């Protein structure tokens, strides 16, 4: 993985047998708790935001082959470099603290891998994060409290979150 991080090599990360998920992108940081990467948007064929996974969930990864590399239409990964305080993002709790200023984040939890929460962080207390939820139609909803240890994925700065927050910027 050190080579992939150092040389910004796109990879596929496979979470089998823990979860039936494969994520793609460029890894920025990996330690024994977090795996932080720039996401690749397969529909747009370009890099789109960031994601954070739990390192212990990652069973295997592989470099992209030449055919996959040729699928990149906009190799914009440099737009995402040096924008995160990676030295201060060593656990999920650390990451959430650093993401508190973000307008929106998306969170998947271990109890439901098919749905997720989108919102902004209101509070982080006692190993729990409170999110002010935003609906699919960009309406603010009630708050929800999530146990940090149950979070399996955090996504942010993707085109999806940017599109959802647009009506609130006008």
Q: Which of 60, 86, 112 is the last residue of a domain?
A: 86
What contacts 155, CB < 8 A, 6 or more positions away? Answer: 39, 49, 50, 51, 52, 105, 106, 107, 161
Model pTM score: 0.93
pLDDT digits (tens, 9 = 90+) for 104-153: 999 999 876 667 899 999 999 989 999 999 998 889 999 999 999 999 99
> Into how many domains does the chain fold?
2
The whole-angstrom separation of Cα 55 and Cα 76 is: 25
The CA angle 159-17-48, to the nearest 5 degrees, is 10
Q: Is the peptide bond before 17 cis (omega within 30 degrees of 0)?
A: yes
Judgement on whether residues 113 and 127 belong to the same structural domain of the protein: yes
Report the SS3 class of residue 137.
coil
Judgement on whether residues 115 and 140 belong to the same structural domain of the protein: yes
Q: How many CB atoms lie within 10 A of CB 8?
A: 13
Domain range for residue 123?
Answer: 91-170
Judgement on whether residues 54 and 116 belong to the same structural domain of the protein: no
Query: For residue 63, what is the domain's CATH number?
Result: 2.30.30
The whole-angstrom separation of Cα 34 and Cα 49 is: 16
Judgement on whether residues 120 and 149 belong to the same structural domain of the protein: yes
Q: Read off the pLDDT band of 103 (50, 70, 90).
A: confident
């Amino acid at each position: 993985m050190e080579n992939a991080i150092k040389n910004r090599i796109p990879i596929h990360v496979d979470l089998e047998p823990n979860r039936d998920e494969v994520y793609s992108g460029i890894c920025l940081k990996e330690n024994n708790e977090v795996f932080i990467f720039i996401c690749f948007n397969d529909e747009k064929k370009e890099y789109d935001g960031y994601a954070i996974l739990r390192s212990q969930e990652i069973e295997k990864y592989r470099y992209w082959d030449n055919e996959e590399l040729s699928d990149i239409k906009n190799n914009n990964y440099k737009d995402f470099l040096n924008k995160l305080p990676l030295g201060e993002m060593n656990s999920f709790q650390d990451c959430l603290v650093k993401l508190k200023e973000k307008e929106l984040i998306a969170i998947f939890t271990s109890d439901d891998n098919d749905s997720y929460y989108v919102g902004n962080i209101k509070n982080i207390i006692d190993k729990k994060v409170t999110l002010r939820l935003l609906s699919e139609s960009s309406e603010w909803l009630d708050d929800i409290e999530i146990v940090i240890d149950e979070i399996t994925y955090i996504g942010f700065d993707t085109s999806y979150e940017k599109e959802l927050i647009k009506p609130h910027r006008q």
